[in-house]
Amino acid sequence: MFRDALAAHLKQFAAAPFLFVGAGVSRRYLDLPDWTSLLRHFAAVAGGDYSYYYASANGDPATIASLVAADLHERWWRDPAFANSRLLYADKLKTNESALKAEVARMAAQSVEHISTDPLHQEELALLRRVVIDGMITTNYDPLPEHLLPDFKVYVGQDNLLFADVQGVGEIYKIHGSHEEPDSIVLTRADYENFSDRNPYLAAKLLTIFVEHPIIFIGYSLSDPNITTILKSIASVLTNDRVDQLRDRLIFLQWDPDAPDPTLAGSAVISDGFTIPVLTATVRDYRDAFTVLGRLKRKLPARVLRRLKEQVFELVRTNDPRGRLYVQDLTDDIDDKDIDVVLGVGLIAKLTASYKGKSREDLFEDVLNDGPLDPKRVVDDVLPSFRRNANVPIYKYLRGAGLLADDGSLKDPRSVDPRVVRRVQAGVEPLRAPSDYRKRAVSAAEEAGDFVTLADRHKPDHTLMYLAELPFERIDPDALRDYLVEHRVTQYVNGHQLQAGQWVKAVCIYDWLRYKRA
């Protein structure tokens, strides 16, 4: 089975994967045009004939873009039809090819407002939001990467990447530019020539990522020049033995809706005398691949790891800890298999502080994002501190501390604070809708049948009110988690007391579903 094969393959690597994302992804989820369709569209916008441009450029797309840009330049700066575009971009443009890039940027920027509503695509995107990756490299201009991975830091264009202290984790590299900076977009013949001149430097910057991480390509073909050029530059600085080591790290997922059951198979990218070994699979959709990536394990979120690496880099570069370095001795009687390496960034007081200051909000964040809070300390120091009738997630911490049997019951109630024992004994009854809403909630839950349908039919405040009346086996924990994150601000932060209370109950239901049973 492809899912099992991919999971087993990725487990052999110590580092999380990088995604290398191409235009096929933008077409799939944002309905953006391919390059030919894009040039046809803007040839008409420039008032020209695409066939004329094609013949004049000998069919070369980048040269076609240059010709279109030249014809659009004068019209864009004077025609009232482009007044709104000039308001957005005029002070950002620097060349006579910039007007075309501004229009491309505007199209890309608006595309995220029209994400595909196809149920399959929505399912894939929900899975993609939860992937465990160290970063993303893309030649796309659109905002989809930032939309899906809002905690990742974005680097735009070659210059930004070449001269930045990138950490290789929690980052997005938009190597062909971004809709936010039109002149950064690689589109015309001059752009590609400039990109090619600097490509060896970019390859050197990406080399560490390629030799330390598995790289999963989606939205590209094996012959895509955007990829073959970069791979050739990387291969040119590696020995034959090192190039062969890339074989298991480069994975191309190619899409074909009529493909048979996929398998991982060896193949090669060939460019200008270089042969780069890769693995390929042709898939009907991306659900299996994204599911596997979502199940990879990591102790800390990518954004936290990136921040830690930044702090360590700054410490090493300046040799000035400025109160940021804390060293703790390991005693001789500790088994090396039990050692967890802890790097403290910040004041010692912060590192050693009691967990008793943790709030419910800290627990919500930790549960919904599979955070790093120590389960035993939460059970001992945090859970007993809340008032008796406060709804708080408990099962992540009881399970993580090894205090629960497989069925979710306490192994030894005497080892846990009585207030926590009472929360376990109360079960899910405190999480149900208020009595005034109970009849309506039961009816709505019965009509919907499952959580996804319930959420589709009702507003968020009603969905969360009715949630606990669903059979819990009909609630998809991943879908619930995404829903809670999406509606946290409207229902909890800015919601009235009843809305906030139901959001909190829903977090506790998610905690129950995810962690109660082993």
Average pLDDT, stretch 254-261? Answer: 92
* 281 confidence band (pLDDT: 50, 70, 90): very high
Does residue 340 surpass a pLDDT of 70?
no
* 320 confidence band (pLDDT: 50, 70, 90): low
Rounded to whole angstroms, the Cα distance separating 77 from 8 reads 56
Residue 69 near residue 96, CB atoms below 8 Å: yes
Does residue 133 surpass a pLDDT of 70?
yes
pLDDT at residue number 334: 40
pLDDT at residue number 203: 79
What contacts 47, CB < 8 A, 6 or more positions away?
71, 75
Average pLDDT, stretch 488-509? Answer: 89
pLDDT at residue number 186: 95
Cα-based angle 355, 360, 362 (whole degrees, multiple of 5)? 60
Amino acid at 269: V
Residue 398 near residue 378, CB atoms below 8 Å: no
pLDDT at residue number 327: 41
Lowest average pLDDT, out of 91-105, 113-127, 183-197, 229-243, goes to 229-243
Cβ count within 10 A of residue 411: 12
Q: What percent of the chain has pLDDT over 70?
A: 86
How many CA atoms are closer than 13 Å to the CA of 440, on its beta-carbon side? 10
Taking all residues of the chain, what is their mean pLDDT, rounded to a whole number? 85
Rounded to whole angstroms, the Cα distance separating 205 from 199 reads 10
What DSSP character marks residue 394?
-
Residue 322 token pair: 């400025």
Q: How far is the first Cα of the chain from the last one, in angstroms, to the nearest whole number?
A: 25
Rounded to whole angstroms, the Cα distance separating 339 from 331 reads 11
pLDDT at residue number 241: 64
pLDDT at residue number 338: 41
Average pLDDT, stretch 81-108? Answer: 94
Cα-based angle 434, 437, 441 (whole degrees, multiple of 5)? 110
Tell how strand 250-255 and strand 171-174 pair up.
unpaired
Residue 175 near residue 213, CB atoms below 8 Å: no
Lowest average pLDDT, out of 235-239, 315-319, 357-361, goes to 315-319
Does residue 140 surpass a pLDDT of 60?
yes
pLDDT at residue number 62: 96
pLDDT at residue number 341: 43
DSSP 267-332: EEEEETTEEEEEEEEEES-SHHHHHHHHT---SS-HHHHHHHHHHHHHHHHH---TT-EE-----T
Does residue 272 surpass a pLDDT of 60?
yes
Q: Which secondary-structure segment (H or E) carries 514? A: helix 497-515
Residue 377 token pair: 């300390």
* 161 confidence band (pLDDT: 50, 70, 90): confident
Q: Helix, strand or coil for residue 4?
A: helix
Domain ranges (residues) in the chain: 2-31+116-294, 35-113, 356-518
Does residue 323 surpass a pLDDT of 80?
no
Does residue 474 surpass a pLDDT of 70?
yes
Rounded to whole angstroms, the Cα distance separating 381 from 486 reads 30
Average pLDDT, stretch 108-137? Answer: 93
Average pLDDT, stretch 347-362? Answer: 64
From residue 284, give the alpha-carbon distance in Å to each of 58, 76, 214, 218, 486. 35, 42, 22, 13, 28
Q: Which residue has the higher pLDDT, 333 or 135?
A: 135
Amino acid at 243: V
Closest CA to 15 of 121, 233, 170: 170
E strands of 135-228, at which residues? 135-138, 153-156, 171-174, 215-218
Tell how strand 265-271 and strand 274-283 pair up.
antiparallel
Does residue 279 surpass a pLDDT of 60?
yes
Closest CA to 137 of 37, 38, 226, 74: 226
* 113 confidence band (pLDDT: 50, 70, 90): confident
pLDDT digits (tens, 9 = 90+) for 168-203: 778 899 999 999 999 999 999 999 998 888 877 787
pLDDT at residue number 301: 59
Lowest average pLDDT, out of 52-66, 254-268, 346-360, 403-417, goes to 346-360
